Amino acid sequence: MLTVECVISPENLDPRGLLLQRSIIIRLLEEFANRKVTKDHGYFLSVTTLEKIGEGKIRPESGDVLFPVRHNCLTFKPFKGEVLKAVVDRIVKHEVFLICGPVGNVFLSVKTMPDYQYVRGENPTFMNNESSKIEKGGVVRFVVLGTKWVETEKEFQVLASLAGDFLGPVS
């Protein structure tokens, strides 16, 4: 999981009232929680440090004041070629759906699971010749074949693969 601390300078809106710095921080945290995820930086986990609150600029039409706030935060972005661990959420005939932290859409197609066969049943699984089993709730180590940013859903979709050494279900 590529979790980084990065510095961002968003615009922050309109803190009225006397406790200026406090309202700015509250507004920053609100806005941060709403931002959730962007294409460039990935999923926003948490603000870590406040660097600087810049000079406020008044917006003439509304009377709002805009403050640029420079802060550090934690983000997570999945990358092609990265090896990650995820939890199996659902299994169907040709595909396994995994959840990797904030990334809810990790797709593992049967085509990228060499030697694994679908085993049907009330709780379907995938198994290979060495009785290695992929089942709901289990953990799988995979490599990211590709990622896709879906603007309309505001989320990343990840294509996974087990084609490689040391990949597959782990305890």
Smallest gap from Cβ 166 to another protein, in A, equals 5
Contacts with another protein, 34-73, as mask; x by CB under 8 A: --xx--xx-xxxx-x-------------------------
Q: Which is nearer to another protein, 6 or 65 (CB)?
A: 6
CB 75 within 8 A of CB 41: yes
Residue with smaller CB distance to another protein, 83 or 150: 83
Give residue for tokens 């709901």: 136
Q: Which of 20, 50, 74, 119 binds another protein (CB under 8 A)?
A: 74
Q: In DSSP terms, which residues pair with 159 in a beta bridge?
A: 107, 146
Contact 66, 59 (CB under 8 A): yes
Locate tokens 């990334």: which residue?
103
How many residues touch another protein under the rule CB under 8 A: the total is 37
CA distance 71 to 58: 21
Interface residue with another protein, options 6, 13, 65, 110 (CB under 8 A): 6
141 binds another protein (CB under 8 A): yes
Closest by Cα among 76, 57, 59, 53 to 147: 76
The residue among 59 and 148 lying less far from another protein, judged by its C-beta, is: 148
Q: Does residue 112 contact residue 145 with C-beta atoms inside 8 Å?
A: yes
CA dist., res. 126 & res. 139, Å (int): 13
- 12 Cβ partners below 8 Å, 6+ apart? 24, 27, 28, 31, 66, 67, 68, 69
Nearer to another protein, 84 or 108 (CB): 84
Answer for which of 10, 56, 101, 124 binds another protein (CB under 8 A) is 101
List interacting residues with another protein (CB under 8 A). Answer: 1-6, 33, 36-37, 40-41, 43-46, 48, 74, 76-77, 79-83, 85, 87, 99-102, 104, 141, 144, 147, 164-166
